[in-house]
């Protein structure tokens, strides 16, 4: 039995002839220890040498060197081995035999050698024939339990579990039950979501989650010597599937020992050696060699997973202060800022993570590189390729399909987006953000019943991420459910990162029906809520959205004012685009052109900037100069991308193209563009251009000479705006146009 008490010995034995031992097997036999134990002693200075002409495993040693090393360290090693043996449950009976169980056992071994031999042969045969039954398959999942920490040192709390998770997540073979699913299952068990995963709770959770095994860990110490234990347990039977026990001489060696144990455990659980050798970055490379940095990272990761974005920021920052080469800590901070809508701050940290990407495992490198291209360069095709590679390498990881769902949504491939959402949901069925993506995919396809069913399913399972409430508001709007919208707004009160989004949504809803003063009030409240939460770029986005609203409705001075306020807060790409378009619509061509040129210079690889933002801006600027031919030509580049879901500027290329055709007096073509906006109601939501598309369609029918359709379209718009503020310039113009149509065909005004 590896590492057990029978390994203890009084000194080296003379087994092979000569002074040189030419393999681990010979060295282990000479020292009378298992190969695994002897290999571990490299960390303690075991005097072995490597053959320069052989593979990594080729070693040799000299007996006199081993004898000297043994004699120097014999007392400490024996004490540590005795301490380990006393802690092992399968030797717990020895503690009842008196103060010296080691000596007693040696005497018994001499008298019962034959019994032990028979038992050993029987056990060995059982292990051989039942090995396959005790290993995992590629379809099994594992619950990672918490560590039992008897050292009294709180730095190990949660930290070792995080370190082990990182090591095991390198494996394409193993699949850990996600933290989101663990929290969901704990709630179903009547446990708090932060409950410690003791062996009892982990086993219960494992069975409920349909997993094959759970892993329990332990750490104890004898002075400065630490013993780390790992055990994989069949959650149905309670049988041990695999065990590892590692020693670390000094606290700073604990993570390294944990990494070695994780590697050995992967092999015992059935992963091939080829896979392990390919995906086995050392722990100090995969995470950090510093326990305190890993502890801060773990706490920040938990906060992010729980939707506590603001709380995650200082924890990720602390991890970085402790280890400035901690690549995944920068990625964590980038993810946190991204969740807060602070894309500029997110980009800074994604860039730093990218520069350190070689200091991570293969999975972490893919994670960082995909973040870099999706969030910094904006090259969505490059990001897609990395996620595809990630999905091929780690087919049981839900992260690649989730992000592919978002990318396909950005570029208007909604059927593919839905397929990826389904795959992500299959891999992680209790993840709230996946449910949100799932619901959004259905909404974008105008499949509102299925969207509602998916949302109801999430809520029935008590899966309730903040993002889902934002999406439920949009769903209620599309169903004309004012009570449902009010319910979501009320539930968001006082919640940073949620309250401001729903206040901004209320602003758009008010503007959609022409209640401009109400829209301005909600917009100001959204900006204030975002600023209280220290989300400057989010606040800037609300200002840019308000600037667009004012420009579209004909309030040029207010549009310029709100655009300037937005740019004071942030020059993030989506903020700058919104402000530039508002200025172009408001007639400030010079300022809009300067912002457009700056966008092109700063984001030369960004898919959305190149094919959506810049095309729309150049077209509007050309229209300002009455160059409709150039405007139409410029918008050609946007056609493959213009139906993409890109936030508050979704479908603006089609809207601007419709306006260009109106100026060019191409009524039929203009009608196609405005009808496009009305057909994609789920995608457009409560964007003000959804309402203005009705007016655009009416004007297009006038150009076609179809006064009957024009009359119906004007009525549609004016009915929607029946409670609108009367002094809005575009409403005043619409009423005059409608009066002319009525006069032409003799219909009474309504």
Predicted local confidence at residue 748, as pLDDT:
57
Q: For residue range 530-578, list pLDDT tens digits in order.
A: 999 888 999 999 999 999 999 999 999 999 999 999 999 999 999 999 9
b or e along 62-97 (b: 16 or more beta carbons within 10 Å of the residue's beta carbon)? Answer: ebeebeebbeeeeeebeebbbbbbebbeebeebeee
**What are the C-alpha distances in Å from 477 to residues 159, 398, 404, 437, 681?**
44, 30, 27, 18, 11
Are 214 and 202 in contact by the 8 Å Cβ rule? The answer is: yes
Predicted local confidence at residue 85, as pLDDT:
45
Dihedral over Cα of 705, 711, 717, 723: its sign? positive
- Say if residue 339 is in the same domain as residue 461: yes
Are 490 and 506 in contact by the 8 Å Cβ rule? The answer is: no
Residue closest to 624 by CA, chosen among 551, 562, 677: 551
**For residues 236 and 455, what is the distance between their CA atoms, to the nearest angstrom?**
33
Q: Is residue 257 part of a domain?
A: yes
Among 276-280, 288-292, 599-603, the range of highest mean pLDDT = 599-603
Q: Is residue 433 part of a domain?
A: yes
Mean pLDDT of 238-249: 91
pTM of the full predicted structure? 0.78
- Say if residue 338 is in the same domain as residue 474: yes
- Say if residue 56 is in the same domain as residue 78: yes
Mean pLDDT of 373-385: 95
- Say if residue 387 is in the same domain as residue 532: no
- Say if residue 406 is in the same domain as residue 452: yes
Q: Is residue 141 part of a domain?
A: yes
pLDDT band at 55 (very low <50, low <70, confident <90, very high): very low
Predicted local confidence at residue 747, as pLDDT:
57
Of residues 629 and 468, more confidently modeled: 629
**For residues 510 and 691, what is the distance between their CA atoms, to the nearest angstrom?**
11
Whether the pLDDT of residue 146 is over 90: the answer is yes
Are 499 and 492 in contact by the 8 Å Cβ rule? The answer is: yes
Q: For the packed helices 499-512 and 536-553, what is the interaxial angle rounded to 10 degrees?
A: 0
Whether the pLDDT of residue 734 is over 70: the answer is yes
Beta strand 240-249 pairing with 49-50? unpaired
Mean pLDDT of 732-748: 87
**For residues 450 and 429, what is the distance between their CA atoms, to the nearest angstrom?**
17
Residue with tokens 């990672």: 144
* Contacts with 112 (C-beta within 8 Å, 6 or more apart), sequence order: none
Q: Is residue 163 part of a domain?
A: yes
Alpha helices in 479-535 (DSSP H): 482-491, 499-512, 516-532
Give the Cα-Cα-Cα angle 479, 482, 485 (nearest 5 degrees): 90
- Domain end (from 40, 73, 97): 97
Among 73-87, 336-350, 508-522, the range of highest mean pLDDT = 508-522
- Say if residue 626 is in the same domain as residue 578: no
**For residues 270 and 275, what is the distance between their CA atoms, to the nearest angstrom?**
11
pLDDT band at 51 (very low <50, low <70, confident <90, very high): low
Of residues 725 and 462, more confidently modeled: 725
Predicted local confidence at residue 749, as pLDDT:
53
**For residues 444 and 452, what is the distance between their CA atoms, to the nearest angstrom?**
13
- Say if residue 513 is in the same domain as residue 644: no
pLDDT band at 96 (very low <50, low <70, confident <90, very high): very low
Provide the CATH number for the domain around residue 154: 3.40.50.10070
Provide the CATH number for the domain around residue 675: 1.25.40.10
- Say if residue 580 is in the same domain as residue 664: no
Q: Is residue 338 part of a domain?
A: yes
Predicted local confidence at residue 18, as pLDDT:
66
552 token code pair: 């579209």
23-37, 161-175, 201-215, 484-498: which has the minimum mean pLDDT?
23-37
Q: Is residue 581 part of a domain?
A: yes
Alpha-carbon Rg for the chain, nearest whole angstrom, is 33
Are 512 and 687 in contact by the 8 Å Cβ rule? The answer is: yes
549 token code pair: 């609203």
Q: For residue range 571-629, list pLDDT tens digits in order.
A: 999 999 999 999 999 999 999 999 999 999 999 999 999 999 999 999 999 999 999 99
529 secondary structure, DSSP code: H
Q: For the packed helices 536-553 and 573-585, what is the interaxial angle rounded to 10 degrees?
A: 20
- Collapse the DSSP code of 674 into the 3-class scheme (helix H, G, I; strand E, B; otherwise coil) and give the result: helix
Its domain, for residue 733, covers 615-750
Q: Is residue 712 part of a domain?
A: yes
- Collapse the DSSP code of 109 into the 3-class scheme (helix H, G, I; strand E, B; otherwise coil) and give the result: helix
* Average pLDDT of every residue of the chain: 85
**For residues 412 and 465, what is the distance between their CA atoms, to the nearest angstrom?**
25
**For residues 267 and 93, what is the distance between their CA atoms, to the nearest angstrom?**
30
- Say if residue 684 is in the same domain as residue 713: yes
- Collapse the DSSP code of 110 into the 3-class scheme (helix H, G, I; strand E, B; otherwise coil) and give the result: helix
Mean pLDDT of 728-742: 96
Are 287 and 353 in contact by the 8 Å Cβ rule? The answer is: no
Whether the pLDDT of residue 337 is over 60: the answer is yes
Whether the pLDDT of residue 387 is over 60: the answer is yes
Counting every residue written for the chain, the total comes to 750
In the chain, how many H helices and how many E strands? Answer: 38, 7
b or e along 112-139 (b: 16 or more beta carbons within 10 Å of the residue's beta carbon)? Answer: eeeeeeeeeeeeeeeeeeeeeebbbeee
Q: Is residue 375 part of a domain?
A: yes
**For residues 368 and 361, what is the distance between their CA atoms, to the nearest angstrom?**
10
Predicted local confidence at residue 750, as pLDDT:
53
Rounded percentage of the chain residues whose pLDDT exceeds 70: 86
- Collapse the DSSP code of 122 into the 3-class scheme (helix H, G, I; strand E, B; otherwise coil) and give the result: helix
Predicted local confidence at residue 71, as pLDDT:
67
Residue with tokens 């490198």: 365
Predicted local confidence at residue 331, as pLDDT:
94
Are 221 and 151 in contact by the 8 Å Cβ rule? The answer is: yes
Neighbours of 748 (CB within 10 A): 5
The count of domains in the chain is 5
- Collapse the DSSP code of 246 into the 3-class scheme (helix H, G, I; strand E, B; otherwise coil) and give the result: strand
- Say if residue 634 is in the same domain as residue 723: yes
Q: For residue range 489-533, list pLDDT tens digits in order.
A: 998 888 887 899 999 999 999 999 999 999 999 999 999 999 998
- Domain end (from 76, 97, 118): 97
**For residues 570 and 536, what is the distance between their CA atoms, to the nearest angstrom?**
7
Whether the pLDDT of residue 247 is over 60: the answer is yes
Predicted local confidence at residue 273, as pLDDT:
86
Residue closest to 220 by CA, chosen among 147, 119, 136: 147
Residue 160: HSE in the Cβ half-sphere, 13 Å Cα cutoff: 31
Dihedral over Cα of 154, 157, 159, 163: its sign? positive
- Say if residue 427 is in the same domain as residue 390: yes
- Collapse the DSSP code of 252 into the 3-class scheme (helix H, G, I; strand E, B; otherwise coil) and give the result: helix
Neighbours of 708 (CB within 10 A): 11
Neighbours of 602 (CB within 10 A): 12
Are 479 and 448 in contact by the 8 Å Cβ rule? The answer is: yes
Of residues 741 and 119, more confidently modeled: 741
- Domain end (from 248, 276, 304): 276
* Contacts with 743 (C-beta within 8 Å, 6 or more apart), sequence order: none
Predicted local confidence at residue 59, as pLDDT:
79
- Say if residue 147 is in the same domain as residue 52: no
Give the Cα-Cα-Cα angle 467, 470, 474 (nearest 5 degrees): 140
Q: What does 444-467 look like in DSSP terms, one character per residue?
A: HTT-HHHHHHHHHHHHHTT---HH
Are 549 and 587 in contact by the 8 Å Cβ rule? The answer is: no
Whether the pLDDT of residue 468 is over 60: the answer is yes
Helix, strand, coil: what percent of the chain each, to 5?
70, 5, 25
Beta strand 240-249 pairing with 213-222? unpaired
Residue closest to 219 by CA, chosen among 184, 192, 189, 246: 246
pLDDT band at 467 (very low <50, low <70, confident <90, very high): confident
Mean pLDDT of 288-297: 91
Q: For residue range 702-724, list pLDDT tens digits in order.
A: 999 999 999 999 999 999 999 99
- Collapse the DSSP code of 19 into the 3-class scheme (helix H, G, I; strand E, B; otherwise coil) and give the result: coil
Predicted local confidence at residue 745, as pLDDT:
79
């Amino acid at each position: 039995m590896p590492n057990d008490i029978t390994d203890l010995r009084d000194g080296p034995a003379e087994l092979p002839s000569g002074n040189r031992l030419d393999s681990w097997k010979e060295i282990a036999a000479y020292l009378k220890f298992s190969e695994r134990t002897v290999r571990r002693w490299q960390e303690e200075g075991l005097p072995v040498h490597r053959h320069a002409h052989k593979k990594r495993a080729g070693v040799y040693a000299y007996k006199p060197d081993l004898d000297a090393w043994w004699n120097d360290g014999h007392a400490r090693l024996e004490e540590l081995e005795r301490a380990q043996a006393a802690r092992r449950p399968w030797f717990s009976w020895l503690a009842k035999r008196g103060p010296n169980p080691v000596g007693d056992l040696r005497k018994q071994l001499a008298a019962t050698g034959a019994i032990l031999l028979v038992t050993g042969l029987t056990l060995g045969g059982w292990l051989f024939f039942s090995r396959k039954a005790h290993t995992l398959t590629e379809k099994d999942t594992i619950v990672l339990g918490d560590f039992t920490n008897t050292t009294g040192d709180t730095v190990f709390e949660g930290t070792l579990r995080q370190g082990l998770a990182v090591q095991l997540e390198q494996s394409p073979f193993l699949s850990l039950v996600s933290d989101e699913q663990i929290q969901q299952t704990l709630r179903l068990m009547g446990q708090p979501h932060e409950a410690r995963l003791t062996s009892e709770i982990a086993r219960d959770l494992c069975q409920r989650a349909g997993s094959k095994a759970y892993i329990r860990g332990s750490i104890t110490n004898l002075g400065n010597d630490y013993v780390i234990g790992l055990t994989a347990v069949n959650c149905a039977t309670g049988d041990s599937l695999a065990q590892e026990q590692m020693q670390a001489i000094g606290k700073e060696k604990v993570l390294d020992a944990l990494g070695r144990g994780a590697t050995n455990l992967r092999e015992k659980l059935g992963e091939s050696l080829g896979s392990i050798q390919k995906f086995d970055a050392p722990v100090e490379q995969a995470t950090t060699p510093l326990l305190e940095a890993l502890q801060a990272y773990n706490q920040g990761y938990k906060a992010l997973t729980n939707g506590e974005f603001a709380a995650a920021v200082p924890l990720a920052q602390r991890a970085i202060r402790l280890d400035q080469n901690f690549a995944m800590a920068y990625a964590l901070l980038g993810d946190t800022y991204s969740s807060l809508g602070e894309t500029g701050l997110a980009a800074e940290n994604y860039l730093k993570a990218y520069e350190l990407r070689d200091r991570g495992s293969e999975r972490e490198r893919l994670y960082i590189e995909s973040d870099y291209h999706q969030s910094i360069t904006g090259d969505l095709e490059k990001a897609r390729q990395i996620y595809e590679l990630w999905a091929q390498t780690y087919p049981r990881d839900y992260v690649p399909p989730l992000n592919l769902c978002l990318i396909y949504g950005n570029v208007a491939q909604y059927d593919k987006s839905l397929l990826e959402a389904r795959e992500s949901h299959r891999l992680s069925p209790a993840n709230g953000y996946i449910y949100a993506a799932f619901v959004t995919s259905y909404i974008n396809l105008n499949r509102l019943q299925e969207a509602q069913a998916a949302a109801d399913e999430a809520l029935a399972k008590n899966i309730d991420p903040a993002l889902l409430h934002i999406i439920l508001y949009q769903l209620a709007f599309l169903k004309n459910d004012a009570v449902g919208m009010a319910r979501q707004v009320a539930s968001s009160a006082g919640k940073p990162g949620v309250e401001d989004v729903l206040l901004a949504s209320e602003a758009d809803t008010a503007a959609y029906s022409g209640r401009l003063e109400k829209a301005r009030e909600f917009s100001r409240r959204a900006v204030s809520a975002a600023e209280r939460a220290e989300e400057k770029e989010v606040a800037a986005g609300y200002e840019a959205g308000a600037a667009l609203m004012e420009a579209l409705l004909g309030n040029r001075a207010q549009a310029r004012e709100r655009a300037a306020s937005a740019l004071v807060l942030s020059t993030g790409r989506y903020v700058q685009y919104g402000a530039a378009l508002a200025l172009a619509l408001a007639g400030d061509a010079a300022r809009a052109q300067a912002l457009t040129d700056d966008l092109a210079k700063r984001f030369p690889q960004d898919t959305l900037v190149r094919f959506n933002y810049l095309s729309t801006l150049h077209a509007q600027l050309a229209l300002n100069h009455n160059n409709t031919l150039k405007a139409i030509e410029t918008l050609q580049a946007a056609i493959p991308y213009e139906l993409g879901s890109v936030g508050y500027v979704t479908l603006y290329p089609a809207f601007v193209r419709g306006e260009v055709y109106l100026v060019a007096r191409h009524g039929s073509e203009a009608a196609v563009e405005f009808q496009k906006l009305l057909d994609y109601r789920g995608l457009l939501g409560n964007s003000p251009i959804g309402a203005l598309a009705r007016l655009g369609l009416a004007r297009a029918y006038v150009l076609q000479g179809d006064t009957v359709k024009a009359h119906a379209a004007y009525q549609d718009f004016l009915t929607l705006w029946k409670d609108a503020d009367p002094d809005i310039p575009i409403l005043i113009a619409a009423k005059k146009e409608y009066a002319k149509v009525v006069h032409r065909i003799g219909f009474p005004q309504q």
